[in-house]
Amino acid sequence: MSEERSLNFIEQIVEEDIANGVNGGRVLTRFPPEPNGYLHIGHAKSIVLNFGLAQKYNGKTNLRFDDTNPVTEDTEYVDSIKEDIRWLGFEWEKELYASDYFEQMYALAVKLIEKGLAYVEDASAEQIASMKGTPTTPGVESPSRSRSVAENLDLFDRMRKGEFKDGEKTLRAKIDMAAPNMHLRDPLMYRIKHAHHHRTGDKWCIYPMYDFAHGQSDSIENITHSICTLEFIPHRPLYDWFIKELETFPSHQYEFARLNLNYTVMSKRKLKQLVEEQYVNGWDDPRMPTISGLRRRGYTAASIRMLCERVGVQKRDNMIDMSLLEFCIREELNKTANRVMAVLDPVKLVITNYPEGQVEEMTADNNPEDESAGTRTLHFSNTLYIERDDFMEVPPKKFFRLGPGLVVRLKNAYIIKGESVEKDADGNITTIYATYLPESKSGGDHSGLTVKGTIHWVSAAHAATAEVRIYDRLFKSENPNAEEGDFKDFINPDSLQVIKEAYVEPGLLQAKPGDRFQFMRKGYFTVDPDSTPDKVVFNRTVTLKDAWSKMTKI
């Protein structure tokens, strides 16, 4: 694919601006999160776009926190956002806050009042909404609109000094109550909030609205390309109006389609509900679409960047299949994750003709995709654990695993033949008995037998116990937002299954949080921070193959 063809529409704009010397050919972007929740994978697309553009065109990116609502903001969110951006592989030029500019924004608001383009409003939020009209009918001008400049300056100063209660006054821009674009019908610029701010404390009791703070923060920082998601298209005329009337730096806004992922929700308000109402175990629950949740589940920064690149930058919203994200992590882990054996639903296997008490060392490749990964030693004995579903007492045709009279190879070990079983009082198999062929050892097999099936195992005497958490999609519905009723009614009850006693190779006790492995035939798993020196906890990152899309087509 040629370089020209691979350019997305924003890259084309940037290249044209550079070629024409717009802003001196300089590129300065910004990522402006609100510190009112953890970042999710939708934010990852914006991060990759903003920071990626700057990297590609020798520019810079500011991290600017849009901290204009003290009621919802917290330093915990600020810290998590910074951690997520760095984990994704990016570093910002400056760490800034909209609150850094409160004094400058106040002065700019005063300038608009002095120009007769802003006024203090007495009406309540409900009254203002009713005066706005509808998309097909013009709004009604407020009686407050006719106030003199001097009166507005005095009232705005008194608002700042704290003389009025929350909601008692607002500051509105004076534009056009008949404008076809509802955002131009005298939009709010400031509201009163007597609340402690995480950075400015109690210095301010009036706070700028997003549409005013966003554009003016861009202008103050001399941002060249202000990149937003599509819902901000109707806000752009107001963004441009403020810049024009205030004669500030002409930052320009561009919009792209946000990343929407099926079987989840992307609203921070809804994600916060899931956390606070304990449907999940925190913002970093591995079922959450948050960057911290995906990281804990075992997704890598490279896999998330790969998804963003594959999705691309469009002008139209669309829904991305979770399977594409899973494909991206499989692509990476297939090359990088060491293979190990873990038995998640164990049943005991006794090899009756293997000497009791004898322990043999077997050599196994760590990763057939990577020779440099080397080998490891496995202990083999006459008593093993295998997966319960690898044995059938009455196997159907084309069942290439273990059963009475059936032969199968134990991975990196011997060929065995099923002989008999022992059951408990309820008829459940407790022990499988088999015999082995001594001449069939892997790497030196001269048995002459060819078997179609290979199963994994661990030695009962050497295995370590592990907790394994099997994660699946958080919602049963492909688009919970489109369903009638409460979105939480569509939570998948099987989104988490916990296996308290799985058996794994003993070497896995040395694994550290974040280490990733392929459990042979089971999927890719990551060590969870809940692990202790005595018991390792694994999160399933993703299955070996995409079974979900096949199930949903049945």
Q: Which residues are catalytic?
A: 34, 258, 268
Identity at 140, one-letter amino acid code: V
The C-alpha angle 429, 434, 437, rounded to 5 degrees, equals 160
Backbone angles phi, psi at 77, to 5 degrees: -70, -40
Residue type, 233: I
Q: What angle do CA 352, 386, 333 make, to 5 degrees?
A: 145
Say which DSSP state 393 is in: S
b/e 522-554 (16+ beta carbons within 10 angstroms → b): bbbbbbbeebeeeebbbbbbbeeebebeeeeee
- Of 162, 167, 184, which Cα lies nearest the Cα of 121? 167
Number of H helices, E strands in the chain: 14, 27
The two tokens of residue 220 are 């103050």
Contacts of 282 (CB under 8 A, 6+ apart): 275
Q: Tell me the two tokens of residue 371.
A: 């020779």
**Given phi > 0 = left and psi -120 to 50 = alpha, else beta, which region is 405?**
left
Type of residue found at 208: P
β-partners of residue 377 are: 363
State the burial class of residue 13 (Cβ atoms within 10 Å of its Cβ: 0-12, 13-18, 19+): middle
The total of other beta-carbon atoms located within 10 Å of residue 318's CB is: 10
Q: Give CA angle at 379 (376, 381), nearest 5°.
A: 160
Report the C-alpha gap between 263 and 512 in whole angstroms.
Answer: 30
For residue 8, the Cα-to-chain-centroid distance in whole angstroms is 23
Q: Say how far apart CA 141 and CA 269 lie, in whole Å.
A: 33
